[in-house]
Amino acid sequence: MAATPLHYQSIPELGRALRDGSLTPLALTEALLARIDKLNPALHAFKVVTRERALAEARAATERLRAGVPLGPLDGIPYAVKDLYNVKGEATTGGTHLLEDNIAAEDCPAVHRLARAGMILLGKTHTVQFAFGGVGINHDHGTPHNPWHQTPHAPGGSSSGTGVAVAAGLVPVGLGTDTGGSVRIPAALNGITGLKTTIGRIGRAGVYPLSWTLDSVGPLARTTEDCALVYMALQGEDAADSTTAGVAPHDVLPALPRGVQGLRLAFCETMLFDDVDPEVGEAVRATADVFAKLGAPVGRIEVPEFAEAFNFGRRDLFVAAEACHYNGALLDAHFDALDPAVSHRMQSGRQMTATDYFTLLRRWEDLRRSLLETMRDVDALLVPTCQVPARPIEVIDADKGAYTQYNLKYLRNTSVGNVLNLCGTSVTCGFDATGLPIGLMVYAKPFAEDVALRVAHAYEQATDWRLRHPALGWAE
């Protein structure tokens, strides 16, 4: 088998080369910066490239490794962050030109933790305006280009730029946020891996909020192991985020090589397979054969809490109401200057009464408790990440009705996981007839990231989907 190109190597592969001296962090960083310079004009993944910071961090990492004192397995590995994360000296714009002067005074805790692990920040990636959308379209800063098709297709939102950057080999790993699927959707549509973490695992301070009740932080990377390594560095109590209080970090790495034998897996038949694209349904169902060979026959289970969370929920209105808390002044002062795909939906949040808001919170708590009882005899649920693969932007953005329809197709299966407080991993499980990726989502119980990662890793190692990469001749 031909050697994997440098820009598509996993973190362990890059780490081995960095440790044996055949590659330096500086050389790796310079190679990726050159690739960004070459491809980003067409892909539109990066909002800003932090070149000077990246080179300074790369030089420091190179010296540490030469001296034989690495900071850990991530030392010398480049990464990117979604343009919601505060990075010292850079604007946190949240996808709108109205916040170009919102310069961060300090790195947010997540960026600080990765810097402490020796990682090298290459820049900030584009996002849907205010992170409010599953398609990935931004009419203000521009929409990242899904690398799997020359014609613009949905990159998935809202961590659109991060998904495109990782899939196109501009960076090995990047950080996203997930309020209703914004890590898992771009992972699925771009053919990479994404981890949605349980709220409380990773501090969210200094990350521009959409919905404090549902926001979570998570990595997008080439492989499940890559996600696990970055997740390990991000965990820990954060005094500025009360949800992390008392949540002890856990080591997910020992579980990865254990496989799935003995785990109880099931297709979640309630709603999440309804109205999916036939190729998506076929690809996800076919994973049962792989898991059976690995020693974990896949059963089937009805989970009524998913349907109730979706049908009762009014989740979109709830998120819009919380988003109005953060962005109400911009809505009032600059409504016509905001992205219409976002502003009208966000404005609707003002229709939610306080009574409806608290009623919904209490009902979600009931459903979360009920779900744990339903999943008592199941370790992980297997479902399609999205109902359909990436579709052409021209089709999705033809009118408000089309946008609303596709936004729901991308968000339905992921958003109910946020409502029910599950963690989950999206991993590629096939490609459709046009060569566009299909995602399998592994849902695990709250704070069971080790299980979600273990199941996804076992599947990933038993298949070769992760070894496929987009042909980017058109972007050069």
Q: How confident is the model at residue 197 (pLDDT cuts 50, 70, 90)?
A: very high
**Tokens for 325?**
């808390």
Mean pLDDT for the stretch of residues 370-389: 98
What whole-number distance in Å separates Cα of residue 191 and Cα of residue 220? 10
Mean pLDDT for the stretch of residues 206-231: 98
Q: Give the single-character DSSP code of 200.
A: T
* pLDDT recorded at residue 3: 84
List, for residues 84-117, the tens digit of each pLDDT value.
Answer: 999 999 999 999 999 999 999 999 999 999 999 9
The answer to whether residue 82 is catalytic is yes
Contact present, 149 and 53 (Cβ < 8 Å):
no
* pLDDT recorded at residue 314: 82
What whole-number distance in Å separates Cα of residue 128 and Cα of residue 95? 6
Tell whether the model's pLDDT for residue 364 goes beyond 80. yes
List, for residues 29-38, the tens digit of each pLDDT value.
Answer: 999 999 999 9
Which one from 10, 158, 211, 415 is the annotated catalytic residue?
158
List, for residues 154-184, the tens digit of each pLDDT value.
Answer: 999 999 999 999 999 999 999 999 999 999 9
Identify residue 417 by its one-letter amino acid code.
G
Domains annotated on the chain, with CATH: 6-475 (3.90.1300.10)
The answer to whether residue 22 is catalytic is no
The pTM for the full model equals 0.98
Q: How confident is the model at residue 125 (pLDDT cuts 50, 70, 90)?
A: very high
Phi, psi of 69 (to 5 degrees): -125, 60
CA angle 189–192–193, rounded 5-degree value: 110
| CA within 13 Å, CB half, 344 | 5
Tell whether the model's pLDDT for residue 2 goes beyond 90. no
Which one from 10, 47, 82, 196 is the annotated catalytic residue?
82
What is the largest distance, in Å, between two alpha-carbon atoms of the chain? 62
* Element housing 15 (H / E): helix 11-20
Mean pLDDT for the stretch of residues 278-295: 98
Which one from 182, 216, 343, 426 is the annotated catalytic residue?
182
Q: How confident is the model at residue 313 (pLDDT cuts 50, 70, 90)?
A: low
* Element housing 459 (H / E): helix 449-462
**Tokens for 295?**
């020693």
| Adjacent-strand bridge partners of 300 | 267
What whole-number distance in Å separates Cα of residue 273 and Cα of residue 269? 6
Mean pLDDT for the stretch of residues 431-459: 98
Mean pLDDT for the stretch of residues 12-30: 98
* pLDDT recorded at residue 312: 66
Identify residue 279 by its one-letter amino acid code.
E
* pLDDT recorded at residue 315: 87
Which DSSP string do the residues of 40-106 spell out, in sequence order?
A: HHHH--EEEE-HHHHHHHHHHHHHHHHTT---STTTT-EEEEETTB--TTSB--TT-GGGTT-B-SS
Average pLDDT of the chain?
Answer: 97
- Residues with Cβ < 8 Å from 23, sequence gap 6 or more? 6, 14, 17
Q: Is 208 left (phi over 0), alpha (psi -120 to 50) or beta?
A: beta
The answer to whether residue 216 is catalytic is no
| Strand ranges for 302-436 from DSSP E | 380-384, 423-431
What whole-number distance in Å separates Cα of residue 299 and Cα of residue 378? 9
Identify residue 325 by its one-letter amino acid code.
H
